[in-house]
Amino acid sequence: MPILSGLPASSIDMLASEARLDRFSRGQTIFRRGTAPTGLYFVIGGSVKLLAQDADGREKVIELFSSGHMFGEIGIFMHSSYRAWAQAVDRCTLVHVDRNHVMATIEQDQELSARMLREVSARVQKLIDAICTTSSRLGITRVASYLVDLSEHESEPGLVQLPAPKRTVASLLSLTHESFSRILRRLIDDEIIAMTGRNVRILDAERLRALILSAD
């Protein structure tokens, strides 16, 4: 886990002492809206989506968490019930750490506390950016921005793996599945990207970024 890398062994041991390995099948609920937080989750394999309902009662994907990411921390810090619910996108493996041990470790390890604060702040900023992007940008600009953002966190330049099926990613970007598919087809036809399953190869990063800049 990147957020735990380089921490003192005592902090890792404290977290591990009350950690358990959980496995979820595709579509299985991890926690429900309104339930009390039990701990912090780290994604070891697979991916998880955080869901809410829009004004019409439809499911809206708020965030996606893939391997190496954590979630559930806001409920722990705020001492309040979950405002959304989490569901496995596909078969996934999670490490769950008891909330009391998370808080106790944070209290004794200032570095972990600072990392948690940066992580939460970055996610809040990302959500704000997503809201601004959704309200002011065309669909193709949202998709281009999303692909560029994913590529910046991949180890192999130009190769991106969608963390979830297209329908789920479309919801994250506030697009219909059909609109998302049409935009991807346009990018493929324009030879900006190539796709095989969830794998996206960025063929022309300059033109992809130009789609973002043209909307600013």
104, 187: one domain: no
Domain closes at, from 134, 155, 190: 134
Pairing status of strand 85-88 against strand 47-53: antiparallel
Confidence of residue 168 (pLDDT cuts 50, 70, 90): very high
64 conformational bin, left if phi > 0, alpha if psi -120 to 50, beta if neither? beta
Core vs surface per residue 1-30: b (16+ CB within 10 A) or e: eebeeebeeebbebbeebbeeeebeeeeeb
Q: What is the pTM of this model?
A: 0.80
CA–CA separation, 180 and 98 (whole Å): 38
119, 156: one domain: no
Confidence of residue 57 (pLDDT cuts 50, 70, 90): confident
CATH number for the domain spanning 82: value is 2.60.120.10
22, 129: one domain: yes
φ and ψ at 157, to 5 degrees?
-60, 135
Task: Note down the domain range covering 90.
Answer: 2-134
151, 191: one domain: yes
How many domains does the chain contain in total? 2
10, 52: one domain: yes
97, 61: one domain: yes
Q: In the chain, at which residue ranges do the beta strands (DSSP E only) sit?
A: 19-24, 29-31, 39-45, 47-53, 59-66, 70-71, 85-88, 92-98, 159-161, 193-196, 199-202
130, 146: one domain: no
Confidence of residue 216 (pLDDT cuts 50, 70, 90): low
95, 147: one domain: no
CA–CA separation, 95 and 23 (whole Å): 9
φ and ψ at 177, to 5 degrees?
-60, -40
The answer to whether the CB of 193 falls within 8 A of the CB of 203 is: yes
Confidence of residue 59 (pLDDT cuts 50, 70, 90): confident
> Half-sphere exposure of residue 141, counting CA atoms within 13 Å on the CB side?
15
Domain closes at, from 100, 134, 168: 134
pLDDT over 90 (residue 144): yes
62, 130: one domain: yes
117, 156: one domain: no
The confidence score (pLDDT) of residue 215 equals 56
Confidence of residue 135 (pLDDT cuts 50, 70, 90): low
CATH number for the domain spanning 158: value is 1.10.10.10
Pairing status of strand 159-161 against strand 19-24: unpaired
The answer to whether the CB of 43 falls within 8 A of the CB of 69 is: yes
Domain closes at, from 134, 169, 189: 134
Core vs surface per residue 185-197: b (16+ CB within 10 A) or e: eebeeeebbeeee
Return the residue matching tokens 């750490």. Answer: 97
110, 144: one domain: no
Confidence of residue 104 (pLDDT cuts 50, 70, 90): very high
187, 128: one domain: no
